[in-house]
Structure formats: C-alpha cells, structure tokens
Amino acid sequence: MPAPQSRHPNFPVPHGNTLRAKGWRQEALLRLLENVLSVGEDPENLVVYAALGKAARNWASHKAIVETLIGMDEDQTLVIQSGKPVALLKTHASAPLVVMANCNLVGQWAKAEIFYELEKKGLICWGGLTAGAWQYIGSQGVIQGTYEIFMRIAEKRFDGSLAGKFILTAGMGGMGGAQPLAGRMAGAAILVVDVDAARAKTRHEIGFLDEIAPDLDSALAAIETAVAQQKPVSIGLVANAADIYPEIVRRGITPDIVTDQTSAHDLVYGYVPSGIPLAEVRRLRVDDPKYLMAASRASIVRHVGAMLDMQKAGAEVFDNGNLIRTQAREGGVENAFDIPIFTEAYLRPLFCEAIGPFRWMALSGEESDIAKIDDLVLKLFPDNHIVTNWIDLARKYVPFEGLPARIAWLGHMERTRLAVAVNSMVANGELKGPIAFSRDHLDAGAMAHPNIMTENMRDGSDAIADWPLLNAMTMCSSMADLVVIHSGGGGYAGYMTSAGVTLVADGTIAATSRLQTALTNDTSLGIIRYADAGYETARDAAAKHNVGYLPLAEGAI
C-alpha cells in the first residue's frame, strides 16, 4: 500500500510495521506526534492549528521528545511541561507513558499579555486542545461535530432538512476548514469567508470547497442559484469577514444560519482585522502586537454587530467555540451574548449521556483498518442512528488526512465496547497494525470553559475547573497511555481548563485492561459531571449504567 499523503513534504506521515521505539505503545505516541505535524497548518513552526497551538515548545524540545520516546522503556513516564520534556521517571508498566501540562497559568496571572510575554521568553506554549496533546487528526476531526450542529438546527428550525438553506460562516483554518464540507454534507448552500487565499486554496484542493468565488457578487449569485435548486454547494470567498458580514446585512440578505470560526480567540496571531493587508498584519504581530489587538477587537465589534443584526432578522446565529462573543463584549457589544453557544444550544443533551467526539487512528497507515472498524461500528451499534448515518456519510465524503482516522460521536460503554473489540482484531491479525484511541477535550467530563462547554450550567458551576483536573487524575489512575491537562483559550487568558487522554490498542491483554478501565471511567465521569449539575438525562444515565455516582441525599449540599 502507498504511504499516506502528507500536506507537507518535509513532514511525512508515519506508516508501516517497523518499530523505532522499544514497543508499540511508545511508537504509537511518537507516530501521533509526527501525525499532528503532517496534518498541521504550519509544521515548520510546530504550529498545528488554532493560531499558535503547538505540538512542542521548540525544535530542541521536539528532538528531545522524539529521542526519549524512542529510547524509553514501558515502565517509565515522560513528563512534559508546556511542550518541553522535563523528566523521564521510573514508574510502572501500567502508568501513563506520557503526562503533560500545557499552558496552565495561575488564576490572577492568566492574562493574554502575560501569556505572550512568557511565550516570547520560551517558557510556555499553547497546546490548543488536541495540538500539544498529539491528538489532532486534521479538520476531519471536527467535521462530524460541525455536521451534527447543522443537523440539530435542521431539526429545530427547518423540518429536518437544510436543502435550499443558506449558511454563512468564516474561517478555513485547521478547524474551521471542516465547515464547507460539513455544510455540504448537511445538504446546505454554504458560503465560507477567509482572509487568507492560501487557506481557501488548500480547502479547494482537498475537495472541501466546490469553488472559490472571485468576489461577493459572484459568491452570492452562486448561493442564490444553489438555494433555488436546493442543491448542496460550498463556496469560498477570500475576504475579511468583518467587511463581508456587514455588507450582506446592508444588502438586506438574511442567511438561514450564521456562525464564524475565524481564530477570534487570538487577537494577535489569529484574527485578522479589516483594512490591514495580511502581510502587514504578519509584520505587526512582531512589531506592534498592542496595536493589532486593538484593531482586531474593533473589527470583531463590527463582525459580531452584523451577526446580531442577522439574528434579529431571523437567522439562526451561534458561536462555534472561537470566543468571538467574548472579544466583542470586551469591545463594548453588551448584547454579544444574545448569540448562543453551540454546546448549550444543540449538544448538551448528548454530553449528558457522555456522547462526544471519540476518534481512532490506524497507526500502520493502512486505510483498510479504518474500513474494517467502520464495519464493526455498524455491526455493534445498528440502532445508533447518529453514528450509522455518520459512518455512511464519512465513508463517502471525508477524505483521510495523515494517518487514516475516523471520528464518531459515541457514548458511555459504546467507546469501551468498540475499543476492546478493536484490540482483539489487532491481536488476531485482522487489522494491519495497532490503533490509537483518543477523544476531543471538548468532551463531557473533560472541559471547563464558561464561554464554550460549560456556559449556563444548570447549577451555575460553569467556571469550576475541578472536573477536568479530576478527569486527568482519574485517567492516570486508570492506566491511560497519555494524559494531559491544558489551559488557555480566549487570547490565552485562562478561559478554559481541559483534559485529554490517548490509549493504544496494541493487541495485548494489558491493553484490553487499560482500554476497559480508562474509557469506562472517562465517560462515567462525564455522565457524573452533568448528573451532579442537575441534568435529569444524566441522572437517568448514571442510574441506568451504574457509573458509580455518589449523590448526596436530596437537599444536602
């Protein structure tokens, strides 16, 4: 089989069955590190996605991590602090091979300016959610999440179908790049604006974008035709969203659905203010970041102002996790939070049952392994219509990026059943090599983010970061292979804390035990987090699955 394609010739996708490390567990984590760079946005600078989300702090750290993974034994643990390896400790064979803490600042000091200062000094790095944790699988990782959001809106507002509906959004980077494909898969006519022609070109080349329109008039004409013919289409436009959104309002056009996935969380290295050419923005990032922050904020104020206007005119408008409302409110848009967050608006009922973005990667690089696991998913969960529908769609439309991988929203015990069954397939040679499992940090028990994941929790526990910390500790004590705690987000100003976990199905009996224990405990804590916040669905799930929840007597605190 030919080697999997990399977006970047200098960063090949690992494949084959020759081990460089002393065992598959170590080799697996090494391949995941290589993979995030091969599918990343700017690997020369170690940047994977989300503006500055890095796989390692610097190249010296990267080299030391690679050498350590290759040389370490199974009863050792590599300790990584903000992308820099700091210790290799003797532990035991059931302990995690790698533990990490990325971008965690103490409360009062968790401010964008302090982050940038420490970053410049080389003391810290932002790991995004899955970048620093080596779990990113390209924009395919977020396609199902985006698709499910669109379909929940279809059910809520449009009788279950987006045929003939117009979605307006922006951002075609590492995550936002999934939007054109997800919109088209959902049956809509989607217009995606990005200020960087290179990003649009990449999404066009991989087939996520049907065409790049030369200007707004042509883009809107193409959308109008597709809407009239009820034809799914994805159109790109190279322009600044802070100019285009208000212009669409000015023309009296109201899309059916409006969102945005520019990297608005970062006013310096992410969001591009209107009126300043991209090359000049790149210079200002170094020469005058303060000016850039102010300019970005002013643009976001106009950008969100237009989103609010479209909401008033009847569009379904939502924040897709990039903190654009937060930045706008800080810029004086007092009603920015009239725009709901996608988690609370559409996905919380799923999280109450610990259903979330679970993913697996074929470490051998063999696409046939993913095809066999697709078949297994369909066989194991025939009544789970979200998943069966998704696997059918993904097989048809989602191209592999880097190591062949699949994402599917699975819940409590579904993940465990699948992973244990896959481990048996590795053991009996049905698959060509081991499989790594991980899940997004945006998962039921794994993230505290009061402006994304935990906004408006029923008991008001939005900002309590104990849950992801407990999750990480539980994953360490449940024998996971890699466990990580991330913080930052929102201009890196301590907007969130999250935990990540990766497990390797290498076909051994020990792996069965690790997968069984860690994946079951991970989703148990997810259900418990929502049960404890007072969600009935989660309380029912806790009782049904006997997840070990310890509720206090009614009325006790």
Our CB check for ligand NAD shows the closer of 35 and 263 to be 263
Q: Which is nearer to ligand NAD, 280 or 536 (CB)?
A: 280
Nearer to ligand NAD, 241 or 307 (CB): 241
Q: How does strand 84-90 pair with strand 76-81?
A: antiparallel
Q: Which is nearer to ligand NAD, 176 or 331 (CB)?
A: 176
C-beta of 505: minimal distance to ligand NAD in Å?
25
Annotated ligand binding at 265? The verdict is: yes
d(CA 173, CA 198): 10
Runs of H (alpha helix) within 381-502: 385-397, 414-427, 466-477
Kindly state the smallest distance separating residue 121's Cβ from ligand NAD, in Å: 23
**In this structure, are residues 61 and 83 in contact, taking their beta carbons and an 8 Å threshold?**
yes
Q: How many other β-carbons are positioned within 10 Å of the β-carbon of residue 428?
A: 9
Contact in structure between 7 and 401 (CB atoms under 8 Å): yes
Residue 500 marked as a ligand binder: no
Is residue 267 within 8 Å of residue 296, measured between CB atoms? yes
Residue 483 marked ligand-binding? no
Task: Return the number of the residue (51 or 188) whose C-beta is nearest ligand NAD.
Answer: 51
Question: Is 306 marked within a binding site?
Answer: no
Tell whether 175 is in a known binding site: yes
Closest-by-Cβ residue to ligand NAD is 173
The least CB distance from residue 171 to ligand NAD, in Å, is: 4
Whether residue 278 contacts residue 239, with contact meaning beta carbons closer than 8 Å, is answered with no
SS3 call for 139 = coil
User: Closest by alpha carbon to 100, among 524, 518, 359, 481?
Assistant: 481
Check the annotation: does 271 bind a ligand. Answer: yes
Nearest CB to ligand NAD, comparing residues 176 and 404 = 176
What DSSP character marks residue 344? I
Question: Is 299 assigned a ligand-binding role in the annotation?
Answer: no
Pairing of strands 98-102, 76-81: parallel
Q: Which of 266, 263, 256 is nearest to 176 (CA)?
A: 263
Distance CA 93, CA 168 (A): 50
Query: In whole angstroms, how close is the CB of 184 to ligand NAD at the nearest point?
Result: 18
Find the shortest distance in angstroms from Cβ 113 to ligand NAD: 19
Q: Is 176 one of the annotated binding-site residues?
A: yes
Q: Which helix (H) or strand (E) holds 437?
A: strand 435-439
- Please state the closest distance from residue 106 (CB atom) to ligand NAD, in A: 22
Neighbours of 557 (CB within 10 A): 3
Report whether 213 contacts 189 (CB < 8 A): no
Q: Are 434 and 508 in contact (CB under 8 A)?
A: no
- Indicate the residue among 171 and 255 with the shorter CB distance to ligand NAD: 171
Q: Under the rule (CB under 6 A), what is the footprint of ligand NAD?
A: 41, 49-51, 129, 142, 145, 170-176, 193-196, 199, 240-242, 261-265, 270-272, 299, 320-322, 442
Confirm or deny that 194 is annotated as ligand binding. yes
Triad 167, 169, 174: Cα angle to 5°: 125
Q: Which is nearer to ligand NAD, 240 or 520 (CB)?
A: 240
Smallest distance, ligand NAD to C-beta of residue 303, A: 7
DSSP 3-state of 488: strand
166-170 and 496-505 strand pairing: unpaired
Residue (341 or 362) nearer to ligand NAD, CB? 341
Q: Is 263 a known ligand-binding residue? A: yes
Residue whose CB is less far from ligand NAD, 49 or 158: 49
What's the min distance (Å) between Cβ of 322 and ligand NAD?
Answer: 3
Nearest distance from C-beta of residue 285 to ligand NAD, angstroms: 12
335 is in an annotated binding site: no
Q: Could you tell me the smallest distance in angstroms from the CB atom of residue 328 to ligand NAD?
A: 13
Q: Is 457 helix (H, G, I), strand (E, B) or coil?
A: coil
Element (DSSP H or E) covering residue 213: strand 211-213
Q: Which two tokens stand for residue 68?
A: 């350590």
Strands 435-439 and 496-505 come out as: antiparallel
Bind-site residues for NAD(+): 174-176, 194, 199, 240-241, 261-265, 271-272, 490
**Residue positions in the annotated binding site?**
174-176, 194, 199, 240-241, 261-265, 271-272, 490
